[in-house]
Amino acid sequence: MEGDDGRPLPSLDRVSALSDGIFAIAITILILPLTDVQVRDGQVLGDLLALGHQFLALVVSFAVIGGFWILHHDDLTALTGASRRLLVANLVFLFFVVMLPFPTALLGDGDSVTATIIYAGSIMGTALSSLALWRMAEQDGLVKEGWARRWGHGKYWGTAAVVAGFLPSIPLAFVSPTWARVSWALAIPFGMIADRLEARTAVDR
């Protein structure tokens, strides 16, 4: 496949290989804040309980990055090739992915308003950049026939669910960082609603 300038475009295999490498690095770095932790003899339980925030942040971010990796794999499966613009969009998406360990480390430090806001913003940025990547593929005619309806519409509903689940936590963080983080669970029912709406619109189409 060639671009408008006649030069061959990178294959999706190379795009996938780079993306998988970035995901692997990001998901591995999540453990780094715990590598210097000291657990004292006779106080093992207390020391481990004191790491509650860090363990929770690790588990949440591991699940988030893993989820984005699965979605990204499905996105690439639905494409026929790459374009220059798609490569740029993919790099923007990977930038947000590789940055996720940073707000995760901040989140593990405790009930911080700033950390809560930065984490929520990072998740929404990652979701929106993933949607932008898909939108770019649609505009460049790279989506396989039928996939725009079968998979593409779900991307829009799914992204809306993530934003709806995390956006309210930003103003709520100024009142209570703890409750702001609890509110992130809203993304789960919103995601279920998005799935039902997508299924309903798929029948209508």
pLDDT digit string, tens, across residues 26-66: 999 988 776 665 555 555 555 555 556 777 788 888 999 99
- How much is the pLDDT for 127? 94
113, part of any domain: yes
Query: 113: which residues sit within 8 A by CB, 6+ positions away?
Result: 173, 174, 177
Sign of torsion over alpha carbons 75, 76, 82, 88: positive
118 vs 105, residue with greater confidence: 118
For residue 69, the model assigns a pLDDT of: 93
Q: Average pLDDT, whole number, for the chain?
A: 82
In a domain, 31, yes or no: yes
Tokens for 24, please give them: 């692997």
In a domain, 3, yes or no: no
Q: Domains in the chain: how many in total?
A: 1
Name which of 189, 188, 201 is nearest 153 in CA terms: 201
Q: Give me the residue label for tokens 């004191």.
A: 50
Q: Does the residue 89 lie in any domain?
A: yes
> What are the tens digits of pLDDT across the range 68-102?
999 999 899 989 888 889 999 999 999 999 999 99
pLDDT at 99: 93
Given a cut of 80, whether residue 123 has pLDDT beyond it is yes
H helix intervals, 144-186: 147, 153-166, 169-173, 177-182
Contacts 24+ apart (CB under 8 A), 186-192: 187/161, 187/162, 190/160, 190/161, 190/162, 190/164, 190/165, 191/158, 191/161, 191/162, 191/165
| Residue 32, pLDDT score | 79
DSSP 143: B
Q: What is the pLDDT of residue 155?
A: 82
Residues 159 and 113: their CA atoms lie apart, in Å, by 24
Number of H-type helices and E-type strands within the chain = 12, 0
Taking the C-alpha atoms of residue 47 and residue 54, their distance in angstroms, rounded to an integer, is: 12
Question: Could you tell me if residue 6 is inside a domain?
Answer: no
pLDDT number for residue 203: 46
Evaluate if residue 192 carries a pLDDT over 50. yes
1 lies in a domain?
Answer: no
Higher pLDDT, 194 or 21: 21
Collapsing DSSP to helix, strand or coil, 195 comes out as: helix
Instruction: Kindly state whether residue 7 falls inside one of the protein's structural domains.
Output: no
pLDDT above 90 covers a percentage of the chain that reads 36
Where in the sequence is the domain holding 144, given as residue range(s)?
A: 12-204
